Chains A and B, each alone.
Chain A
Amino acid sequence: MIKVLKAMIVREIQEHKVAFVYAPFFVSIILCLVIASVYFGGTNIQTDQFNFSTEYYDEEIRQAMQSVSSVSRIDIVRTGLLVLGFPILLTVGFGLLAYSLSTFADERKDRSLIFWRSLPVSDLTTVLSKVFTVTLIVPLMVLPYIILLQLVSMTSASIFFATNDIVSFGWLWGSYIFTDWFRIIFSLWAQSLWSLPLFLWLMLAGTYAARPIAGAIVPPVILIVLEGIIFKTNLVLEFIENRIGFWSRADSFPKEYQELRVVDVSDILLLFSTQAFWIGILASVILVAGIVYVRSSNSDHAID
């Protein structure tokens, strides 16, 4: 079973290497270059909302940096690095949405479905391989890019700070929490489980609909409208909004973070104790069953 799943997951990555390998790689490289150019090349990005420039480090800031407490320093560094990783996460997030919508639609469109189904692999195993790809493998694949970006940022900043007598190497690297790598991967795994119903809904649309995009959008819109008219509530819309966002900032999450921060493993355990999380898992199980049923009874392979 492990050998079969491994072969199937490798196939998923090979087929969608643009979304899972190339796109985050290029975004990471571009971000690394931008960061390095800010510290070494004099790039100056300043807007009303955003300041990414070495000109920021004036005398006042220098003194503030040296006098700040170690706890605050660590928080600042962690938050900064977290924000830097967002473009990569957004890229992969869009990649996952596109993957979910196309993975079952493409096999109908290029008519390879019959070939895949002529092999001794059950429909359930096929769906599970895609669920594992979304929830376990892709987050793992993203981690090296985030680490690369963090290391490039830390190194660039260290060199700039040290050579400009702002702070020492030790000042900065002492604030870098290597165990955040594990927090990030656990957080991403939790995020993919949190958003899993959305991914599976898109997969189901790709399995049954002649026009997958319409198949993914129209039924929820109808549900939202009907729910609003009949029950005067917004549960479906709220469910979708919550699952698109970060799990730690969802309405149902017991802790309300005021500022952006790296989550702790205890936060993830807290997530697992919420009803909303398990409703999502239950919805995912039902959607998996639906995909298996529709795929196994798909005798019409036509797709636009």
Chain B
Amino acid sequence: MNTEVVITANNISKRYDESYALENIDIEISKGQIMGLIGPNGAGKSTFLQSVLGLLKTEGNLEVLGLDPRKDRHKLLKEVCSITDVAVLPKWMTVQQLLDYMDGVHPGFDLDKCKSILSRTNIKLHSKIKVLSRGMVVQLHLSLVMAIDAKILVLDEPTLGLDLVYRKDFYSQLIEDYYEGDKTILISTHQVEEIEGVLSDAVFMNQGRIVMKDSIESINKKYLELRPDQNYLDAAKSLNPMHQRTELGREVMLFEDIDKDKLTALGDVRPPVIADLFMAIMETTKKGGQQ
């Protein structure tokens, strides 16, 4: 893993009236990381990503590629690309007009590469964007981004509203055709299970705060999920699981920092899926807060 830091956030906050959309966010993101921002609606994921893109003014110190995203936004955006569900492509344009515009304004845009990517899709250059399906528009947006040699890619709910096939295609295209070791990708999505396989790191957010951040590798080592045999239920409970739930009539326990061998003797053991881990941590945090 490359350790060159590309995004540094120190004490970042964003307040709307009395409530915080972001509260004291501290994070460093390194070159090559594919970081997933995971959290419920209103967790602050989009606010953080918009801050990284220089679209929002925040308190605190935020540096992206050594630049202040607010002051040097247009300089920064030569190196940072984004696809967000709120960034709607102009419907009145044709695909060709949009490509020509990108070629004119973006120094890193490769027109031939973009046309080559689009030639593998059903998108026609003469089509107006307003006649394309939602899936095709996202595909077009991804093609534009893939034709730019950017250092950071920000994806904020990029596949929102797409059917399963388009969602799968999106991420496979992203990883197979776009991602290189020196690019950094930030992804925020509700469909956590679909990006789990592509992430190198995960950040859990809730109510404007970071609840947990770690690498997927470390998460898989640190957390284990046990489905204990009925006979060993009490033995498993005695090991103090951090969270417990019932799934299809069977107990599922989550453990943190425990010897895998201890659990293997009690039932089926495997790393938790990110969504379950997130839910467990949210509930644990909530309970901790109530005590």
- Asked, given contacts A110-B88, A299-B55, whether A120 binds B78 with beta carbons under 8 Å apart, the answer is yes
A14 touches B97 (CB 8 A): yes
Interface size on B, residues (CB 8 A): 31
Q: Is B104 within 8 A of A4, CB to CB?
A: yes
Instruction: Check: B106 CB closer than 8 A to any chain A CB.
Output: yes
Stretch from B36-44, B69-77, B229-237 at the A interface: B69-77
B182 at the interface (CB under 8 A from A): no
Would you give the shortest CB distance from B108 to chain A, in whole angstroms?
8
Contact A8 B104 (CB under 8 A): yes
Judge whether A110 and B104 touch: CB under 8 Å.
no
A7-19 contact mask (Cβ, 8 Å, vs B): 1 or 0: 1101100110000
Contact A121-B97, Cβ < 8 Å, known A110-B91, A114-B88, A299-B56: no
Report B57-98 CB contacts with A as 1/0, cut-off 8 Å.
Answer: 100000000000000011111100110101111111100010
Please determine whether A114 and B86 come into contact, CB atoms closer than 8 angstroms: yes
Contact between chains at A115 and B104 (CB < 8 Å): no
Query: Complex Cα distance A31/B82, Å?
Result: 49
Answer yes or no: B53 CB below 8 A from chain A CBs: yes
Tell me whether A164 is interfacial, beta carbon within 8 Å.
no
User: Given the known A-B contacts A11-B97, A120-B74, are A114 and B55 also in contact in the complex, defined by CB atoms under 8 Å?
Assistant: yes
The residue from B75, B93, B105 contacting A8, defined by CB atoms under 8 A apart? B105
Interface residues on A, range: 20 to 34
Task: Given A7-B100, A297-B57, verify A121-B74 contact (CB < 8 Å).
Answer: yes
| A118-B81 in contact (CB<8A) | yes
Q: Which of A7, A110, A125 contacts B101 (CB 8 A)?
A: A7
Q: A70 on the interface (CB 8 Å rule)? A: no
Would you give the shortest CB distance from B265 to chain A, in whole angstroms?
53
Q: Is residue B181 contacting chain A, with contact meaning CB distance below 8 A?
A: no
A115 to B93, CA, bound (A): 13
Contacts of B56 in A (CB 8 A): 299
A46-80 vs B, CB cutoff 8 Å, 1 = contact: the mask equals 00000000000000000000000000000000000
A108 CB to closest chain B CB (Å) equals 11
Query: Measured between alpha carbons, how far is A21 from B238 in the docked complex, in Å?
Result: 79
Task: Decide yes or no whether B103 CB sits under 8 A from chain A.
Answer: yes
Supposing A3-B104, A4-B105, A8-B105 touch, asked if A115 and B90 sit within 8 A by C-beta, the answer is yes
Which of B50, B75, B87 is the one whose CB lies under 8 Å from A120? B75
Q: Which A residues are within 8 Å of any B CB, using their own CB?
A: 3-4, 6-8, 10-11, 14-15, 107, 110-112, 114-122, 125, 296-297, 299, 301
Those 4 A-B pairs whose CB atoms lie nearest each other, nearest first: A7-B104, A114-B87, A120-B77, A122-B74
* Chain B residues close to A by CB (< 8 Å): 50, 53, 55-57, 73-78, 81-82, 84, 86-93, 97, 100-107
